[in-house]
A and B are shown apart, each in its own frame.
Chain A
Amino acid sequence: MAATTESVKADAAEAPLLNKRNLTLGVLLYLVFYSFIRWYEGVYGWSAGLDSFAPEFETYWMNMLYIEIVAEVVLFAGINGYIWKTRDRKVMSITPREELRRHFTHWTWLVCYGWAIYWGASYFTEQDGTWHQTIVRDTDFTPSHIIEFYLSYPIYIITGTASFMYAKTRLPTYQEGLHLMYLVVVIGPFMILPNVGLNEWGHTFWFMEELFVAPLHYGFVFFGWAALGILGVLNTEVMAIAKLLKKDLA
């Protein structure tokens, strides 16, 4: 009886398999932040973002660029440093339940990654289309670029890298080596940043018109394909989770 009571107490004290609070907060964080960014664009895009030589452009847009770059470097180093520093050195000896719990945490990261890639590659990228078709670019740092290239892309790179780091440092599934498709998922988006350099160089020297299907943009297309690497990660995860649940689902 006493043993049963202890066991029930232990169950009650145990952390849930899926931390729903973290999942909700993660998704909401991106939603609220990007809603604020969209509001900021709506107000200051037209009022302060049309002429890069104007003093108000420096105030509302260039300062934003400087702040976001510093914040991203700090976030990247902080999150990945923390995950690495607190890594599990006995990852192969965890219990199946703990492993399942960690898969849920991993999927919380992956949900955030998918959410971040939506905002970066879909929402803000096509938004850049409407801005350029309306206002001719005068520098590489237009309001839409300051959000798209230098804010939303780094955010999904940071989220993807953190997700990879979590899997590598805490899940037995990823101890065999480096998961090829996970690397594609993480490195592909990262390579978009050098391609931004090529893009801006090309626009500076060749044309100011924004031709979305022009070959100059094909690098973005190629690295966009890297998102499909999620299929390989999904397959690996399904195999790992099925292995954990198989006999209980039979």
Chain B
Amino acid sequence: MSASQSAVRSRAEAVQVSRTFDWMILFTLFTAVLGGYHIHYMLTGGDWDFWTDWKDRRLWVTVAPIVSITFPAAVQACLWWRYRLPVGATLSVIALMVGEWINRYLNFWGWTYFPVNFVFPSNLLPGAIVLDVILMLGNSMTLTAVVGGLAYGLLFYPGNWPIIAPLHVPVEYNGMMMTLADLQGYHYVRTGTPEYIRMVEKGTLRTFGKDVAPVSAFFSGFVSIIIYFLWHFFGRWFSKTDFIADDAS
């Protein structure tokens, strides 16, 4: 191979080749992150995210940001520090939400007939956008972790509040007061529900004070800071281009 030879015939072809690679890279990155993030989120925060009556509970406010800040931090670590692209968190979250919406619609509704208003995914976008904006403006991993991580936890509940508010309307059913979300849970029975209700309800989150969502959100934000740090370094590790010796060659 000669270093003086060109791989392309003209500058125009070089530009076209570069753009074509961009699209192929974007597609692969999007779908690979989607797959990895989705399996991670489903198996660490998924049950609270599957059902609106569990979104009614405060553990969802705590758990969802902590486990979902992972992939955004890792992808940011690659896209910002190598390419100055301030879209790592937003790209990850959009990928996850695309995967979730397709699945909730075609499978939860289309295969096993749960109503979509019972199974829509949580909205993680406000926190992701803020995370990217803080990194872009601050150009500091520490600032992004501390301020962005806290904001990610704090913004999660208000970011979902407009969507779930109607489901918090109180209703009386067979002499019991409950939310509309709870009522849905009564009518659409799931195999895993009783175990989860035991896990969630034996905590004191619902009983210390009238409304503990802000406390939960702050706690979630603090833990999100730590998780951001951890996953930033995971992202750096996954971005490595190292080779290990190939004795066979």
1/0 contact string of A230-250 vs chain B (CB within 8 Å): 111011111101001101110
Closest to A192 in B: B39
The CA-CA distance from A117 to B40 in the complex, in Å, is: 13
In the complex, the answer to whether A245 meets B25 with C-beta atoms within 8 Å is: no
In the complex, the answer to whether B195 meets A209 with C-beta atoms within 8 Å is: yes
B99: A residues at CB distance < 8 A: 118, 122-123, 126
In the complex, the answer to whether B33 meets A180 with C-beta atoms within 8 Å is: no
B219–chain A nearest beta-carbon distance, Å: 18
**Interface residue count on the B side (C-beta < 8 Å):** 75
In the complex, the answer to whether B246 meets A41 with C-beta atoms within 8 Å is: no
In the complex, the answer to whether A245 meets B243 with C-beta atoms within 8 Å is: no
- Interface positions, chain B 24-43, Cβ under 8 Å from A, are 24-25, 27-40, 42-43
In the complex, the answer to whether B100 meets A224 with C-beta atoms within 8 Å is: no
B195: A residues at CB distance < 8 A: 209, 211
In the complex, the answer to whether B243 meets A248 with C-beta atoms within 8 Å is: no
- Given known pairs A224-B35, A228-B238, A230-B32, the reply for A100 and B7 (CB within 8 Å) is yes
Cβ 8 A contact of B238, one of A110, A176, A181, A244: A181
Q: Does A130 contact B (CB under 8 A)?
A: yes
In the complex, the answer to whether B241 meets A239 with C-beta atoms within 8 Å is: yes
**Interface residue count on the A side (C-beta < 8 Å):** 83
Q: What's the dominant secondary structure at chain B's contact region?
A: helix
- Interface positions, chain A 201-243, Cβ under 8 Å from B, are 208-213, 217-218, 220-221, 224-232, 234-239, 241
Cβ 8 A contact of A213, one of B29, B43, B194, B240: B43
B108: A residues at CB distance < 8 A: 130
In the complex, the answer to whether B239 meets A231 with C-beta atoms within 8 Å is: yes
A120: B residues at CB distance < 8 A: 35
A97: B residues at CB distance < 8 A: 5-8
A237: B residues at CB distance < 8 A: 25
A174–chain B nearest beta-carbon distance, Å: 8
A42: B residues at CB distance < 8 A: 110-111
- Given known pairs A172-B1, A230-B32, A245-B18, the reply for A121 and B238 (CB within 8 Å) is no
Q: Does B47 contact A (CB under 8 A)?
A: yes
Q: Does A77 contact B (CB under 8 A)?
A: no
In the complex, the answer to whether B241 meets A232 with C-beta atoms within 8 Å is: yes
In the complex, the answer to whether A107 meets B71 with C-beta atoms within 8 Å is: no
In the complex, the answer to whether A177 meets B8 with C-beta atoms within 8 Å is: no
B74–chain A nearest beta-carbon distance, Å: 6
Q: Does B249 contact A (CB under 8 A)?
A: yes
In the complex, the answer to whether A229 meets B238 with C-beta atoms within 8 Å is: yes
Q: How many A-B residue pairs have CB under 8 A?
A: 250
Cβ 8 A contact of B190, one of A113, A134, A226: A134
1/0 contact string of B8-32 vs chain A (CB within 8 Å): 1111011101101100110111111
Cβ 8 A contact of A231, one of B18, B46, B107, B238: B238
- Interface positions, chain A 170-191, Cβ under 8 Å from B, are 172, 175-181, 183-184
The CA-CA distance from A103 to B21 in the complex, in Å, is: 9
A135: B residues at CB distance < 8 A: 191
B11: A residues at CB distance < 8 A: 248-249
In the complex, the answer to whether A225 meets B192 with C-beta atoms within 8 Å is: no
Cβ 8 A contact of A181, one of B9, B100, B106, B240: B240
- Given known pairs A111-B24, A121-B35, A247-B6, the reply for A130 and B44 (CB within 8 Å) is no
Q: Does B172 contact A (CB under 8 A)?
A: no
- Given known pairs A127-B111, A232-B241, the reply for A213 and B5 (CB within 8 Å) is no
- Interface positions, chain A 1-51, Cβ under 8 Å from B, are 11, 17-18, 38, 41-42, 45
B106–chain A nearest beta-carbon distance, Å: 7
Give A contacts to B, CB under 8 Å. 11, 17-18, 38, 41-42, 45, 92-97, 99-100, 103-104, 107-108, 110-111, 113-115, 117-118, 120-123, 125-127, 129-136, 156, 172, 175-181, 183-184, 208-213, 217-218, 220-221, 224-232, 234-239, 241, 244-245, 247-249
Nearest first, the 9 closest Cβ-Cβ pairs linking A and B are A227-B36, A121-B35, A114-B31, A117-B35, A224-B39, A248-B14, A96-B7, A177-B243, A114-B28
| Contacts A/B (CB < 8 Å), 15 sampled | A103-B21, A114-B28, A114-B29, A114-B32, A115-B27, A131-B112, A172-B1, A178-B246, A181-B242, A227-B37, A229-B238, A230-B28, A232-B239, A234-B28, A248-B10
